[in-house]
Amino acid sequence: MSTYLTGVRNVAIYVQDPDRARIFYEGLLGLTFISERARRIQLAVGETRLLISPTHVDEQDATEALHGRCEGYFEVVDVVDLVARLRREGVPVTQEPTDEPWGERDAVALDPDGFPVFLTQRAS
């Protein structure tokens, strides 16, 4: 157990279309909008910030180098209900809600850029 780390403060993802990612994370998953500046969007869930940035900021830096794999892990209240909502919105679900031996129920969906989003419901 780390005596230095107490939690996750920020998660940054680099996406092709920040507006589309915002719709997914804010509109479908319910993260709270914090700010937007120069197409960089900040959302929050609890004390953790999700930083969404475009793969390139301007035409001089039109590289796809920043576009890479990212995984988001979120604790949810009702994973079955959330997965049903995501399906209704056409979001691909790659793992149905599954009861894990360690007492959690997990599911996995894909965000608009194909990044896996892990959804975990703690045992009650």
Q: What is the CATH number of the domain that holds 97?
A: 3.10.180.10
Asked if the structure places residue 86 within a domain, the reply is yes
38-58: pLDDT as tens digits: 888 999 999 899 999 888 655
Give the Cα separation of 29 and 119 in Å (integer): 10
Asked if the structure places residue 31 within a domain, the reply is yes
Asked if the structure places residue 16 within a domain, the reply is yes
Asked if the structure places residue 1 within a domain, the reply is no
Asked if the structure places residue 79 within a domain, the reply is yes
| 5 pLDDT tier (thresholds 50, 70, 90) | low
Q: What is the pTM of this model?
A: 0.69
Asked if the structure places residue 33 within a domain, the reply is yes
Sheet holding 32-37, edge to edge: 10-15, 48-54, 40-45, 32-37
| 106 pLDDT tier (thresholds 50, 70, 90) | very high
- 14 versus 27: the higher-pLDDT residue is 27
Domain that holds residue 69: 10-122
Domain count across the chain: 1
Backbone angles phi, psi at 10, to 5 degrees: -135, 150
Asked if the structure places residue 4 within a domain, the reply is no
Asked if the structure places residue 37 within a domain, the reply is yes
CB 76 within 8 A of CB 60: no
- 91 versus 12: the higher-pLDDT residue is 91
